[in-house]
Structure 1
Amino acid sequence: MPRPSRKTKPTPEPTGGDDTGLHLTPPGLGLVLLEARAPWEAMAMAAVFPWLSRMPSGDGHAVLVFPGLGASDISTLALRRFLKQHGYQAHGWKQGLNLGPRDGVLDTCRERVHQLHQQHGGKISLIGWSLGGVYAREMAKEMPDLVRCVITLGTPFTGHPKATNAWRFYNLVSGQQSHDEDLLAEVRKPPPVPTTSIYSKTDGIVAWQCSINPTRHAHTENIEVHASHIGMGMNPLAMYAIADRLRQDPAHWKRFDVQGARRWFFKVAHQPEMVTQWY
């Protein structure tokens, strides 16, 4: 397999045509070892919290956060605390460990979305970390009238599950197979609401190309941050991007702007000329 090119030029849609991402491989050992930096990301979050706390507060709408594979609401506690401190009504998914979409899991997710929508009297935002982002996207596809926006963190919604280092664990704990092509084709489709993918090219679990939204949709975007997969939900850059996206008015939604100082910390892949070629 050729090495990813760093050139930026017009390229075909990453998820278009018949490309199923089978050419992609999971992150290598070097990136896996870099996952050990997650505690440093948590410490960085604590260090820059006074700066993050100066960001404008949100409008108070409800946010439902889905954990990643093998994780529970404990893993999203720091993120939900951050959201509450910025004025949002942040909630966990309340299903214990995320062991895949086993019997009853998605039904309970649907009930949770309906419950929070009724409880708070308005559309809610959905945030999903890793596999949790797949749940968030699917809930938004099924119930777009109840969902304000979707934000995913290191979520492998395109490409192929075997381009992650977690597919064997997923098969084991979920009791399902990760190579159902019909299901994968549905998962690749973006929700009909503003949808943001936050990803890292140094992700040690998910090949970053699996987290790229197609660029032809005006309501989708991709934001690159420097983060590990395990630490993305505690990474200060990811937190900043999340808070910025949640403040967007869905009726006048605009893609993340990397002008000014932001260009030193973030990269985006919204337009065809900015999509990095990897094949």
Structure 2
Amino acid sequence: MSSPARRKPTPKTPADEDTGLHTVPPGLWLMMLEARAPWEAIALAAVSPWLSRMPSGDGHTVLVFPGLGAADVSTVALRRFLKQHGYQAHGWKQGTNLGPRDGVLEGCRERIRELHKQHGQPISLIGWSLGGIYAREMAKEMPDLVRCVITLGTPFTGHPTATNAWRFYKMVSGTHEHDEELLAEVRKPPPVPTTSIYSKTDGIVAWQCSINPPQHAHTENIEVHASHIGMGMNPLAMYAIADRLRQDPARWKRFDAQGARRWFFKVAHQPEVVTQWY
């Protein structure tokens, strides 16, 4: 038998890369930094005149999913921002998000069908934290009805215990075991343009759990300076969302973090790839 010291290392494949599977939750210091969320709301109000100068959208429909333990009231600021930029923004109308309880997923499906039928075109889905899981999974089930998916601090990869909200999730959802097959499916990206907006100073979700694998040309990851609780009110996140929603789905391309943007945003994916969507 050859000596281990002389063995050649096995080349890594994309599946071997770190996808957050062994990541630990954010520490106490990052959790304490979540207290800055109110300041993000104040900052949004302060820079609203600047954000209002951004080009308006094409008026298509956007459905927003709230995070764990939150309801549509938590996404009011985000939906107001979207409406100010010309979009038809709607809440999920499923009450407080306490996990995929009986009837919730079917309610999401019906909401998407209703909005698609009402407006006659594919809709964009935005999900904050756990809401992003709903958005991604609905896009997988109904790709013909979905234009794009944008998630905010959503832990779609890695292990559920890599978040500081896992115990609360178990308590309110009644989930006590990890379904590894289900987790593997959740990690797969939807077949539509998909953006993950995340923060390395997120005090609830380990940022590694919000990274789309780079080998998928229709996915991207945009890093912003934000708290988890305040991400849906953060000016940088709002800017990125507006930029992504303006993308033509027939010729989608990844976020450009060059020029002045490099001072505010970072991207975690391969160089820009233009993808045809027909």
The two structures have a TM-score, normalised by structure 2, of: 0.91
Deviation at 1:17, TM superposition (A): 4.2
1:204 alignment partner AA: G
Q: Which runs of structure 1 show a deviation greater than 4 angstroms over 4 or more consecutive aligned residues?
A: 17-20
After superposition, give the CA deviation of every residue in 1:234-271 in whole Å (9 maximum; x if it has no partner). 00000000000000001100000011100000000111
Distance 2:85 2:166 in 1: 35
**Alignment-derived partner of residue 146 in structure 1:** 145
- Alpha-carbon deviations, 1:117-138, whole Å to 9, x = none? 0000100000000000000000
Number of corresponding residues? 260
8 Å CA contact 2:25, 2:164 repeated in 1: yes
What is residue 77 of structure 1 aligned with on the other side? Answer: 76
| Alpha-carbon separation, structure 1, partners of 2:157 and 2:260 | 30
Partner of 1:25: 24
Alignment of 1:79-228 (within 5 A): 79-177=78-176, 179-228=178-227
Aligned partner letter, 1:197: S
Secondary structure of the equivalent of 1:95? coil
**Correspondence for 1:254:** 253
Distance 2:110 2:79 in 1: 20
Amino acid at match of 2:222: I
Asked if the contact 2:19/2:209 (under 8 Å) is kept, the reply is no
Matches within 5 A, 1:44-59: 44-59=43-58
On the 8 A contact 1:26/1:163 being kept in 2, the answer is yes
Partner of 2:6: none
SS in 1 for 2:58: coil
Tell me if structure 2 keeps the 8 A contact 1:161–1:178. Answer: no
Q: 2:26, 2:163 within 8 Å by CA — same for their partners in 1?
A: yes
- RMSD between superposed Cα atoms in Å: 1.4
Tell me whether 22-31 or 141-150 shows the greater mean CA deviation: 22-31
* Deviation sequence 1:86-126 (CA, Å, 0-9, x none): 00000000011000000110000000000000000100000
SS at 1:253 equivalent: strand
Partner secondary structure for residue 148 of structure 1: strand
The 8 Å contact of residues 62 and 120 in structure 1, kept in 2 or not, is answered as yes
Q: Any stretches of 5+ residues in structure 2 without a counterpart? A: 1-11, 272-278
Residues 215 and 18 of structure 1: is their aligned pair in 2 closer, same or farther, counting only changes over 3 Å?
closer
Q: Secondary structure at the match of 2:81?
A: helix
Higher mean Cα deviation, 175-184 or 159-168?
175-184
Q: What's the CA shift string for 1:125-171, capped at 9, x where partnerless?
A: 00000000000000000000000000000000000000000011101
CA distance in 2, matches of 1:249, 1:69: 31
Unaligned runs of at least 5 residues, structure 1 = 1-10, 273-279
Between the aligned residues of both structures, percent identity stands at: 85
Given that residues 167 and 178 in structure 1 are in contact (C-alpha distance below 8 angstroms), is that contact kept between their aligned partners in structure 2?
Answer: no
Q: 2 CA distance for matches of 1:256 and 1:150?
A: 14
User: For residues 108 and 252 of structure 1, what CA distance do their matches in structure 2 show?
Assistant: 31
170-179 or 198-207: bigger deviation: 170-179
CA distance in 2: counterparts of 1:140 and 1:46, whole angstroms: 32
Partners of 1:220 and 1:105 lie apart in 2 by 26
TM-score when scaled to structure 1?
Answer: 0.91
